[in-house]
Amino acid sequence: MKKAIIIPNSNKDTGLLITRKVISKLASLSVLSYVSEDYAELSEQGAEIYSEIPKDAEAVIVVGGDGSVIDASRIALLLSVPILGVNMGKVGYLSEVDPSNLEILERLSTDDFSVEERMLLTAEKTTNDGRKVTFDRFAVNDVVISHESYLGITDFRICNRRGDSVSYRADGIIFSTSQGSTAYSLSAGGPIVAHNLDTVIMTPICPHSLFNRSIIFEPEECITIRNTGLDSLNISLDGRLVDTLMPNESCTIAMAEKRLKTVAFSEGNMFSTLFRKIKVLED
C-alpha cells in the first residue's frame, strides 16, 4: 500500500494528536497520506491536502470511534477500497488499531494484512401514492424504524418475500447486519452473530407482546415493514435519520449488492476480539 486517505474526528482526537502520529508513521513507511482541506494544518506532517476525493487512494484510515468509521465507509465504498479504524472511542467494535499500538501500521507498507468483506443493508420506502424512495446510503450496522418521538408505542406489520406476515406493537424495530449484532441490536436483547455471516437480524424494541424474540433471516430475504399505526415513524440508517414513514406507507430492507471491505490484522476470530472489548467495558 502506497496511498491512503486519512479521516480524523477532531472531537475524539483532541488537537489531532493521534492523527498526526498516524500520518508521521505512514510517512516513515513511504505511504502517502491524503487529508481533506478541512485539516490543511496536517500538511506539516507530510500529508497531501485534497479538495476532491483522490481516486488513486488504496485505503481509508479513520481516526475516531465507530460512528466515524460508519460515516467514512461511504468514501471506502465509492472507491471500492478497504477501511481501517484507529479506535478513539470507548470500545470500537469497528476499529482494528489501538492508538497505543501504531507500530502495527508497518504491516500496511508490506501488504501484510487481509481484507475482509462485510454485508450491508439497503432500505427502500414505498409512499402511499406508489412512489419508490431509495436512500443514497447503505447501513453498515442497522436500519431502525421507530416512533417519531422516540418515546411512543407504534403498530406495524412485518412481511417476508413469500407473503408471510406478523403484527407487532412496540417502540420500534431493528434490522441489523451480523456486524451490527454487537451494536444497537445487542442492547435491545438481540443475539451476537459472527461478523463473517451474511444474515439479517430482526429485533423488536420493547415489544408489547409475549413474542419478544429476535428472528434471524437468510441473506436473500426481503423484509417489508408497513406502518399500521396512526403516527409517523422515523427511518434511521446507522443512527442517521433519513426519512419518515407515514401511516400505511412501507419500507423494504434487503442485503445490498455492495460489500464493505475492511483491513484486518488480527489472527484471532471475531469472538476473541469481542470478549476482549467486553472486558474493556467491564474495567
Which positions are annotated as active-site residues? 66
Alpha-carbon gap, residue 236 to 135, rounded angstroms: 10
Q: CB 130: neighbour CB atoms within 10 A?
A: 6
Which grid coordinates belong to 250?
412501507
Give whole-number Cα distances, 36 to 18, 48, 89, 105, 122, in Å: 16, 8, 22, 21, 28
- Find out whether 234 and 146 touch, Cβ atoms under 8 Å: yes
Q: Strands across the sheet with 233-237, in order?
A: 215-217, 200-205, 172-176, 142-147, 233-237, 240-245
105 DSSP 8-state letter: G
- Comparing CA positions, the residue from 154, 125, 147 lying closest to residue 234 is 147
Q: Which amino acid is at 86?
A: V
Cα 76 from chain centroid (whole Å)? 12
